[in-house]
Chain A
Amino acid sequence: MLDVVNLTHTYGTGPNAHRALGGVDLTVAEGELVCVVGPSGCGKSTLLRSIAGLVRPTGGGVRVKGRSVSGTPDDLAVVFQDYSRSLFPWMSVGDNVALPLRRRGLGRAARRTAAAEALSAVGLESAAGKYPWELSGGMQQRVAIARALAYRPSLLLMDEPFGSVDAQTREDLEDLVLAVRGHHRMTIVLITHDIDESVYVGDRVVVLSRAPAVVAADLRVDLPSPRDQIGTRELPAFVHLRAEVGRLVRGKPQLSKAPNGPSSIDKE
């Protein structure tokens, strides 16, 4: 579904240039939910923005369904961390969700129906007539997720989607993503700095090294579905995996073997 091949990106030029990505290779199968974690400032968001075509990477490439893309891939939706900035305050919630559907060539009525369906999928069927700023933070992020769902993307990118909500809301939203992911056979790449979250929601956890980022480890999450906020998190496998990801993120040598090995972590 998604192939990222030796992706590099450098901001600026000369002595002040910052190499954010040092050659990232990543493959995501169709229907997979891959979490990308890494130390702060390692280039996670740059990776996501490169995939989304919002920055033009300085090297390497992105392939979607085997086709090389430059710019924004078709059938893509992005959920940003900052819902209050990503939602348009001059539009009602319903109009916000319906707007991207213009790209789908849908008529007004069809857009409205699709928006209503998506809002009901995130439990906000009654909010369509409200304005985003009349809702709580968690509800606003639900609207942003509904907007992405309504678009029926084949690839959904989420950039720290739950980074600005409280802990309880965060758990609810994690479970929401797990509940809706099967709807349209979406492939999801979710960027987070939260190690627990990456293990809890992911089928795989990809750990990036410090900038310039490379893939330091790629771990399969073998935890039973459906996942449960209490039950899953107390499984020994969860606890073990969380510790392993934690060590990798900190760049410390891991105790158990990972598929890709940490060999590239210290590579500058």
Chain B
Amino acid sequence: MIDPRVVRGVVGVAGLLAVAEAAGRAGLMDTRIMPLASTVVARAAGLAVDGEFLQDVSATLGVWAAGLVVAILLAVPVGVLLGSLPRVEAAVRPLIEFLRPIPSVALIPLVALIAASDARVKVTVIVYAACWPVLVNTMYGLHDVDPVAKDTLRAFGFGRLAVLLRVALPSAAPFVLTGVRLAASVALVVAVSAELLAGGAGGIGVYIIKAGSGYRVDLMVAAAVWAGLIGLAVNALLVRAERVLFRWHAARAGVAA
């Protein structure tokens, strides 16, 4: 059977589209500014088979993936290090709290001065934005490691490194993946924003700018819809991965609740 929550979600989306369509047709909204819902859906469907747009999508996904991977490779080891060395963490924490709220988009002009290519500018700001959720969640995951679990292994004579590898890391892994999931969403937002601001050869953001310069609002909105759908799909995929990989975590949380 279909999950009733899915049914409700579909009803909600369909309802919103219907209201938007009716408002447009009734003349409540200027369709030159906000095209009809049916127009947007049709354009979005058209974009799915538009080779030029698909190249832009793959360009966006390329910088997104590159930025996310670099962010993970940087933030997970640093998070593990800080999470297991409380004194170092205390020293670094103020810096993290200062840097974290800086909007990465605000760094684009600065990075553009330094970086050699558009792609590097994009990847750099994506890395900057995506690092924080991964770093903070990794640190949190390491703090959350049960001292009884660590003591158990220590009592069997395992050393610090073995306790880190066999208890702390597996125990923190679900938190790390949650951080990655949050970072993936942020990275997509920043990728498109960077394309809008820094331009470049291709990307969903570049496509939107081109569509805008031709006053094709319908295409602008349709491209934005695709950006949203990609974000939704990435999130859903990672939620699914969390459930499958870390079934034990959910099972335990269920017991504790």
- Interface positions of A (Cβ within 8 A of B): 49, 52-54, 72, 74, 76-78, 80, 82, 84-86, 88-90, 99-100, 103, 131, 133-134, 151, 157
User: Is the Cβ of B156 less than 8 Å from the Cβ of A77?
Assistant: yes
Please name all residues of chain B whose beta carbon is closer than 8 Å to the beta carbon of A103 when the two chains form the complex: 156-158
Please name all residues of chain B whose beta carbon is closer than 8 Å to the beta carbon of A134 when the two chains form the complex: 251
Given contacts A52-B151, A99-B153, 8 further A-B pairs with CB under 8 A are A72-B157, A74-B157, A76-B157, A77-B155, A78-B155, A86-B148, A89-B249, A131-B251
Q: Which of B154, B248, B251 contacts A54 (CB 8 A)?
A: B154
Please name all residues of chain B whose beta carbon is closer than 8 Å to the beta carbon of A85 when the two chains form the complex: 146, 148-149
Known: A80-B152, A82-B148. A89 touches B158 (CB 8 A): no
Please name all residues of chain B whose beta carbon is closer than 8 Å to the beta carbon of A80 when the two chains form the complex: 148, 151-152
Does any Cβ of A come within 8 Å of B171's Cβ? yes
- Interface positions of B (Cβ within 8 A of A): 146, 148-149, 151-158, 166-167, 170-171, 173, 246, 248-249, 251-252, 255
User: Is the Cβ of B152 less than 8 Å from the Cβ of A86?
Assistant: yes
A77 to B249, CA, bound (A): 26
Closest 6 CB pairs of A and B: A85-B148, A78-B155, A100-B156, A89-B248, A86-B152, A85-B146
User: Is the Cβ of A52 less than 8 Å from the Cβ of B155?
Assistant: yes
Q: How many A-B residue pairs have CB under 8 A?
A: 66
User: Is the Cβ of A72 less than 8 Å from the Cβ of B148?
Assistant: no
User: Is the Cβ of A133 less than 8 Å from the Cβ of B152?
Assistant: no
A248 to B25, CA, bound (A): 88
Secondary structure class of chain B's binding surface, majority of residues: helix
Please name all residues of chain A whose beta carbon is closer than 8 Å to the beta carbon of B157 when the two chains form the complex: 72, 74, 76, 103
Please name all residues of chain B whose beta carbon is closer than 8 Å to the beta carbon of A89 when the two chains form the complex: 248-249, 251-252
Please name all residues of chain A whose beta carbon is closer than 8 Å to the beta carbon of B153 when the two chains form the complex: 99-100
Of listed A52, A78, A88, residue having the most chain B CB within 10 A: A88
Closest to A76 in B: B155
Jot down 27 A-B pairs with beta carbons below 8 A, ordered by A. A52-B151, A53-B154, A54-B151, A54-B154, A54-B155, A72-B154, A72-B155, A78-B155, A80-B148, A80-B151, A82-B148, A84-B255, A85-B148, A86-B148, A89-B249, A89-B251, A89-B252, A90-B170, A90-B249, A99-B153, A100-B158, A103-B157, A103-B158, A131-B251, A133-B251, A133-B255, A151-B156
Please name all residues of chain A whose beta carbon is closer than 8 Å to the beta carbon of B251 when the two chains form the complex: 89, 131, 133-134
Please name all residues of chain B whose beta carbon is closer than 8 Å to the beta carbon of A90 when the two chains form the complex: 170-171, 173, 246, 248-249
Please name all residues of chain B whose beta carbon is closer than 8 Å to the beta carbon of A54 when the two chains form the complex: 151, 154-155
User: Is the Cβ of B248 less than 8 Å from the Cβ of A78?
Assistant: no
Please name all residues of chain B whose beta carbon is closer than 8 Å to the beta carbon of A131 when the two chains form the complex: 248, 251
What's the nearest-Cβ distance from chain A to residue B29, in Å?
52
A85 to B170, CA, bound (A): 14
A86 to B149, CA, bound (A): 5
Of listed A74, A85, A131, residue having the most chain B CB within 10 A: A85
Please name all residues of chain B whose beta carbon is closer than 8 Å to the beta carbon of A84 when the two chains form the complex: 252, 255
What's the nearest-Cβ distance from chain A to residue B152, in Å?
5
A151 to B170, CA, bound (A): 22
Please name all residues of chain A whose beta carbon is closer than 8 Å to the beta carbon of B252 when the two chains form the complex: 84, 89, 133
Q: Which of A77, A133, A157 contacts B248 (CB 8 A)?
A: A133
Please name all residues of chain B whose beta carbon is closer than 8 Å to the beta carbon of A100 when the two chains form the complex: 153, 156, 158
Please name all residues of chain A whose beta carbon is closer than 8 Å to the beta carbon of B156 when the two chains form the complex: 76-78, 100, 103, 151
What's the nearest-Cβ distance from chain A to residue B219, in Å?
47
